[in-house]
Structure 1
Amino acid sequence: MAVRVIFIGGLGRSGTTLLERLLGEVPGIAPLGEVVHLWQRGVDAQEPCGCGEPFHTCPFWRRVGVRAFGGWSPGLSDRVQTLRRRLDRTRHIPALTTRQCGVGLSGYTRAYSRVYEAAAQIAACPVVVDSSKHASLAFCLSTSPVVDLSVVHVVRDPRAVAHSWRRQVRRPEDGTPMTRWRPWRTSLHWIVQNLAFELLARRGGTVIRIRYEDLLADPRAVLSMLLVRLGFGDDVETGLTFLRPGLAELSVAHTCAGNPMRFTAGPLELSRDDSWCDRQSRRHRWLVTALTWPLMMQYGYRVRTRRMPDGASPPWRAAGVRASECR
């Protein structure tokens, strides 16, 4: 029997971790974090789970490892990471679309499916969420006969994403600085990743696109729409009791890797980060706009931006894509 997986895809700093945390509060859905990094950061480096416990001492992940593989081992981690370096790369997406991607793909996806199956059983949830983001992994998983894959493609204004990638942020796991990209590099990654998910949708995959700005403008409406489209039935409001006006009440999550938000528990303010509107240099803003404008406008973002007055209604409609403005 296939295990049901919601894969959250998109370029980092687009709100993917936030969406995973919100979906993870819905009954029947278990958030797992960025499973693509489980092997290196969890099995090898023993970085903490979202619950705060080191990976190897977290009761949830210890039980998942035993059920899936008889226990976590360095040899297993090495094999999966070797296959990832060989197969799970953006440059291999054209080969993955034709399934001419060499030996090892079935073994690579089998390792993930075993993690998903074990996690679903341990969490007693029929659906798991993997927020690995990478389009190449989504293409790999789409070839698995035992993964029932639904992709939620998250997009955000590329200028906001570029501004976020320039920030200096330290990883709470070890205090090391997170990767920083220059605006031109972020722009290229934004284009490639988003086009890759568009390609996956055209190839027949289940891909649902949402915008970060819409999610923060009306979390309840966007989550309701998303859950209905994911097949959770029409009566989804009962699963959104954790939402309050402007807030989400988050419980502890067993996420193996990801954005520092994965450690958050308790009330979380749901407000858009529009600091780029004031702090991003005009030169960087126009560079990103010049590189990304065709796809940016397709997703409903305006070339010129302005802040919305306090108290103004956001330009959002659940049934369609409209131009987004800074608040």
Structure 2
Amino acid sequence: MTHPSTAARVVFLGGLGRSGTTLLERLLGELPGVAPLGEVVHLWARGVLGAEPCGCGEPFPDCPFWREVGERAFGGWTESLATGLLDLRQRVDRTRRVLRVRHPDLAAYVRAYRRVYDAAAETAGARVVVDSSKHASLAHCLAAGGVPVHVVHVVRDPRAVAHSWRRTVARPEDGRPMTRWGPARTALHWSAQNLALDLLARRGAQVTRLRYEDLVTDPHATLTALAQRLGLPAALPFVTGSTARLTTAHTASGNPMRFTVGPVGLALDESWRSGPHRGLVAALTWPLRRRYGYRGVTA
């Protein structure tokens, strides 16, 4: 087993799914010295065991980037490694544990992620890796386990998030429909994840909040400010007006957008405003919604 010689800086994107974390990861991944990894929390099941494709299009076991990462971190990817990490996740990495992040196996669980991050940085020749796993519980585990992680807390209007979760979207990996949630369930999960990330900030972790709406309406200014906050290069030649140009990224799992290459238009999706459940979601997410600047009930 080859151990990486340097420790990577880790940027963790947190928030509920359908909030724009994959878009933000792809944009950050265009900055020099930054390696986007996708949702590392799903690497074990979907990559190692499921052999789903990397963002480059190659099946995970055949991707040269991830093959080298596995060799550097663990001497290679194995079924026993993946099943062991999935078992650890069930015992350690749970949202209900964020109020008291203590477990005898926490160190072993976090150590595996640390090895992946460091090996990926060395393989990519990068100083910073981006993990868009989103789950607040994993962010708490990493912080409690001593990983110097900077969490970017991505929020989006819960009415837009709920509208997105109701849509039928095919997974590009296998054509099966992605998970769908009803508005009440989405509202509860939106509140739980965002409250858990707020708690992480109160515990002294590095947390920077970013609104999805700000990112897509003024991408250059928003991304520049975030890059400066993260200590990353702030030149953005890949962003012109409301268009970003994306290159291939080695992302292990995530939203279908991880496969997108070429020009991408950045614009607000306002279709949620005519949705039937926006009043219900607004009521269930108040007052946290107002705290993040999302006012009104149906407007």
- Provide TM-score, normalisation by structure 1: 0.88
Deviations 1:223-272 (A, max 9, x none): 1111111123xxx442x111011110000000000000000001111111
Query: What residue ranges of structure 2 are gaps of 5+ in the alignment?
Result: 1-5
* Contact 1:51/1:263 (8 A) holds in 2: yes
1:3 Cα deviation (Å)?
2.3
One-letter identity of the residue aligned with 1:292: T
- Amino acid in structure 1 at the alignment position of 2:15: G
What per-residue deviation string (whole Å, max 9, x for no partner) do you get for residues 39-60 of structure 1? 0000000000000000000000
Q: Distance in 2 between matches of 1:288 and 1:267?
A: 33
Post-superposition Cα deviations, 1:260-319, rounded to whole Å, max 9, x if no partner, equal 0000001111111111112x11xx11110111120111111121454xxxxxxxxxxxxx
Which residue does 2:263 correspond to in 1?
267
Is 1:178 the counterpart of 2:178 in the alignment? yes
RMSD: 1.0
Could you list the runs of 5+ residues in structure 1 that have no partner in the other structure?
A: 307-327
Contact 2:283/2:297, CA 8 A, preserved across alignment: no
- Deviation of residue 197 (structure 1)? 0.5
CA–CA distance in structure 2, aligned partners of residues 175 and 275 of structure 1: 24
Give me the whole-angstrom Cα distance separating, in 2, the residues matched to 1:29 and 1:231: 11
**Matching residue's letter, 1:299:** Y
Task: Write the distance in 2 (CA, Å) between the matches of 1:262 and 1:132.
Answer: 13
Contact in 1 for aligned 2:166/2:183 (Cα 8 Å):
yes
Give distance in 1, aligned partners of 2:297 and 2:198. 25
Q: Output the CA distance in 1 between the equivalents of 2:254 and 2:103.
A: 29
**In the alignment, which residue of structure 1 is the partner of 2:109?**
108
Match of 1:133 in 2: 134
Q: Please tell me whether residue 91 in structure 1 is matched to residue 92 in structure 2.
A: no
Between the aligned partners of 1:225 and 1:245, the Cα distance in structure 2 is: 16
Q: Retained in 1: the 8 A contact 2:22–2:254? A: yes
Give the aligned partner of residue 51 of structure 1. 56
Q: Which residue of 1 aligns with 2:3?
A: none
**Where do residues 135-174 of structure 1 align in structure 2 (5 Å cutoff)?**
135-145=136-146, 147-174=147-174
TM-score normalised by structure 2 residue count: 0.96
1:294 aligned partner: 287
Instruction: Establish whether residue 30 from structure 1 lines up as the match of residue 48 from structure 2.
Output: no
- Asked whether the equivalents of residues 278 and 297 of structure 2 are also in contact (C-alpha less than 8 Å), the reply is no
Contact 2:13 2:131 in 1 (8 A): yes
Aligned residues: 294
Is the contact between residue 62 and residue 71 of structure 1 (CA under 8 Å) also seen in structure 2? yes
Partner SS, residue 256 of structure 1: coil
Q: How far apart are the structure 2 equivalents of 1:186 and 1:178? A: 14
- 8 Å CA contact 1:51, 1:254 repeated in 2: yes
Q: Return the alpha-carbon distance in structure 2 between the equivalents of residues 3 and 120 of structure 1.
A: 6
**Does the CA-based 8 Å contact 1:16-1:154 persist in structure 2?**
yes
Contact 2:282 2:297 in 1 (8 A): no
- Look up the SS of the partner of 1:168 in the other structure: coil
> Does the Cα contact within 8 Å between 2:227 and 2:234 map onto a contact in 1?
no
Residue 144 of structure 1: how far off its partner (Å): 2.6
Shift of 1:143: 2.0
Contact 1:48 1:54 in 2 (8 A): yes
Contact 2:282/2:298, CA 8 A, preserved across alignment: no
In the TM superposition, 1:306-317 aligns within 5 A as 306=299
- Aligned residue for 2:99, secondary structure, equals helix
Cα pair 1:90 1:135 within 8 Å, conserved:
yes
Contact in 1 for aligned 2:238/2:245 (Cα 8 Å): yes
3-state SS of the aligned residue for 1:94? coil
8 Å CA contact 1:3–1:148 kept in 2: the answer is no
After TM superposition, which residue ranges in structure 1, 4 or more long, deviate above 3 angstroms? none
Matched residue SS, 2:55: coil
Q: Identity percentage over the alignment?
A: 64
The reply to whether residue 243 of structure 1 matches residue 239 of structure 2 is: yes
Q: What are the Cα deviations for residues 52-84 of structure 1, in whole angstroms up to 9, with x where unaligned?
A: 000000000000000100000000001100000
State the distance in 2 between where 1:288 and 1:7 align.
27
- The whole-number CA distance in structure 2 between the counterparts of 1:237 and 1:86 is 40
